[in-house]
Structure 1
Amino acid sequence: MHASNPMDYQALATQIKEWASELGFARAAITGVDLAHAEAGLADWLARGFHGEMDYMARHGLKRARPAELVPNTVAVISVFMPYRAGGLDPHAVLADTERAYISRYALGRDYHKVLRNRLQQLADRLAAQIGPFGHRVFVDSAPVLEVELAKQAGLGWRGKHSLLLNRDFGSFYFLGELFTDLPLPPDPPLPKEHCGNCTACIEACPTQAIVAPYQVDARRCISYLTIELKGPVPLEFRRAIGNRVYGCDDCQLVCPWNRFAATSAETDFAIRHGLDDVTLLALFAWSEDDFNTKMAGSPIYRIGYAKWLSNLALGLGNATPSPAIGAALAARADDPSPLVREHVAWALQEGGYVAKGL
């Protein structure tokens, strides 16, 4: 497609990285599309059922490891990341206070899908303005893409034992995105080594022991999966361990030594909204469906829906230090229209001793 227009692809790659920086990406790097080395691990993960109810993972199968099958004519992938940590109340303090709701740090601001997709499209538009039309497609956690493997192969970091990408300068508190392209851009080299060493802090910190081995996460045990992806009731064995984590979980990242260096994001879209870094479970549980739809519009939390949100909060309240206010709030939703909410509320009433105490 581009042979008739000789081009200095090395210079173009340098220009792309400069544009990416101007668009707010902390890092950008380029890799090829050969991920054959990752296929066996992906197949084994799926065969063991570690994807849980995320049927789309199995449905696409090995296409995740084959970018050129996903987007024909793809020969290079531009991988980028953007930090999202926005400060706010210390997450350890929130986790330690059973009356507060813990929301994963990535979900405190605007929906990252829209933010990164828009910036990556701007990057593609700049590139097209420079060289003319070219084949490309933007991805942000929205298709069968092995984004961590691509970023690792591009040299943006290494895979931590919690399976997330780690970078020496930014830790792991960032979003990944990709621009698939038919341009033969020169690939960047992967890092010569990883830097986790003998550390197993993330494995030991997981409340539900979801990191079943270094680099292997059983999603069916992961609190992020249980509070976001799982459609039905949370299995009894995990309800206590969830604590006050009502949307996602950051424990494996919070204990990682590399996140001592994690930068605070300069991106205003990731600024904390509605005081979600410091809010009580009772305050959130009091929201009406209109409150939820209005306040969570534009948030990644919106997609789980009101019933799932209430059911997560009910578990948090069941794990909180018992009080008459909590008992009354739970009792008021004991006959909620949602079977999921009713089940979790019934568990919370029982777990907190409210049924026996008559609170």
Structure 2
Amino acid sequence: MITQAQIIDQGHRLGFEDVGFTSAAPFDDHKKLLDKMTREYDWADGVGLDLKNGVDPGSILPGAKTIIVLIEPYFNRSYPPTMEAHFGRCYLDDDRVTKDGLARRIKAFRQFLRDAGIESRVPFNLPHRVAAARAGLGTFGKNCLFYSNKVARGGSWTLPIAVVIDKKFSPGRPTIRTDCPSWCKNACIAACPTGALKGNSRIDPKRCISYLTYFGNEITPLKLREPMGMYVYGCDRCQNVCPRNQPWLAKQLPPNERVAEKAADFDLRRLLHMDIAYFESRIWPHMFYMGSDTIWKWKMNVARVMGNSLDERYLPDLERAFNESKDDRVKGMTAWAMGKIGDNQTKSLLESLAKNHTGPVLEEIKLALGSIRGKNKGADK
């Protein structure tokens, strides 16, 4: 029979920086939390996340006895500043579609278990972070993220991978608690511009910038556009300000050449004007939460970011996107962005566009014109 020490050793051999064990008992407390937050998580089933079924490992693997948790750092190399500015780091080197990195190592780990007569499953809907804390591998922050004991200098730049197996091993001592330093004045909560973090390690996912960038079917509400800032996809605000993450952020990391090679593909102008072929070949394999049927959302997010940049160089791109797009949500956001950046010349353009549009697009054009008028009044004072 394979030993626990041998499993840990194999995990390290495959590049996982920490390995822990917990029982496959149901996550009853997590289920109670989901039951209390039905409104906040009613979107999950619609995108294929059966969260409530994931709280019982026995429903994932009949005869489940243990969960092995592998800790994978996703930020052990530096990313191009142009990528970090607009995309959450956990997505920048994601291979869940391409399966050319982490997926291969998980497969090799499962084959190691299979060779030892152990069946396994790697579920997407099991509460991975809770499993990691139950295995004693780390604690939580007020931002609801998992902080490793040993990886990334105690930071949250990690991906816990839960492997459910049908053999029993000794569990670690649970560390399910919030462990932020007493002197931290709720930095993450204060830094969340959309008010997603509620304190007491609670979050409203529907207000999280990450959720807002890739879920939902309507144009981004006006009150959230500026707070969402420069993020096109994902967000790292609460991690960047966290004092527990500063030791790792201060570390000199070697460059991630794999990400650097694709950075040009994620240029804002290219994203705003991309067609489906470009999206499916260069963008979707790396950031896949939005399929080609929601390419409009990518363009809407990019237009919002361009507007928040206040960079006049984007005005021709926004005008082009307005004229070429057939989606009112994209047209509306490009108009809003032009209003954020533009001057009297842009005002004349928007007045001309207003003559040929009605409904929500016209309303956005009016908002944009009001923004320019407001700037002009401010300049006159």
**Common fold, TM-score beyond 0.5?**
yes
Secondary structure of the structure 2 residue equivalent to 1:275: helix
Once residues 244 and 132 of structure 2 are traced to their aligned partners in structure 1, the CA distance between those partners, rounded to angstroms, is: 17
Residue 175 of structure 1 and its aligned partner are, at CA, apart by: 1.6
Give the structure 1 partner of residue 120 of structure 2.
Answer: 136
User: Amino acid of the residue matched to residue 163 of structure 1?
Assistant: C
| Aligned-partner SS, 1:358 | helix
The answer to whether the Cα contact below 8 Å between 2:11 and 2:109 also exists between their aligned partners in 1 is: yes
Describe the SS at the equivalent of 2:244. Answer: helix
* 1:155 and 2:136 correspond: yes
Name the stretch that deviates more: 341-350 or 29-38: 341-350
Cα deviation, 1:49-83, whole Å, max 9, x if unaligned, reads: 22253335898353232111232211111111211
Change in Cα spacing, 1:307 to 1:237, as seen in structure 2 (3 Å) is same
1:146 paired residue among 99, 106, 127: 127
Q: 1:138 to 1:116 in 2, by over 3 A?
A: farther
1:86-138 CA deviation, whole Å, 9 max, x = no partner?
Answer: 213458x965xxxxxx1111222243563434322211111222x23x33212
1:253 aligns with 2:239: yes
Unaligned residue ranges in structure 1 (runs of 5+): 1-6, 96-101
- Structure ranking higher on relative contact order (CA contacts 8 Å, 6+ apart): 1
For the Cα contact (< 8 Å) 2:80–2:260, is it kept in 1? Answer: no
1:105 correspondence with 2:93: no
1:225–1:192 Cα change, 3 Å: closer
- Counterparts of residues 275-354 of structure 1 (less than 5 Å): 275=263, 281-296=268-283, 298-301=285-288, 303-305=290-292, 306-323=295-312, 325-335=313-323, 336-353=325-342
Instruction: Give 1:149 shift.
Output: 0.7
- 2:70 counterpart of 1:77: no
Deviation at 1:84, TM superposition (A): 1.3
Q: Rate the CA distance shift 1:68–1:157 in 2: closer, same or farther, 3 A.
A: same
Separation in 2, partners of 1:257, 1:248: 21
Residue identity in the other structure for 1:30: F
SS in 1 for 2:122: strand
Query: Once the 2 structures are TM-superposed, how far is the Cα of residue 209 of structure 1 from its aligned partner?
Result: 1.2
Identity of aligned residues (%): 26
Q: Distance in 1 between matches of 2:91 and 2:176?
A: 33
Gaps of 5+ in 2: 351-381
Q: What are the equivalent positions in structure 2 for 1:215-254 lying under 5 Å apart?
A: 215-254=201-240
Structure 2 match to 1:99: none
Bigger radius of gyration:
2
Q: 1:27 aligns with which of 18, 28, 40?
A: 18
Say whether the 8 Å CA contact 1:307–1:340 is kept in structure 2.
Answer: yes
Flag the 1:153–1:226 CA change in 2: closer, same or farther, 3 A. same
The reply on whether 1:65 has 2:48 as its aligned counterpart is: no
Residues 119, 209 of structure 1: alpha-carbon distance in 2 compared, 3 angstrom cutoff: same
Amino acid at match of 1:60: D
Q: Distance in 1 between matches of 2:311 and 2:259?
A: 32
Instruction: Assess if the C-alpha contact under 8 Å between 2:78 and 2:255 holds in 1.
Output: no
Checking the alignment, whether the CA contact within 8 Å between 1:83 and 1:264 is kept in structure 2 is no
Q: CA deviation at 1:295?
A: 2.2
Shift of 1:294: 2.8
What SS does the corresponding residue of 1:248 show, helix, strand or coil?
Answer: coil
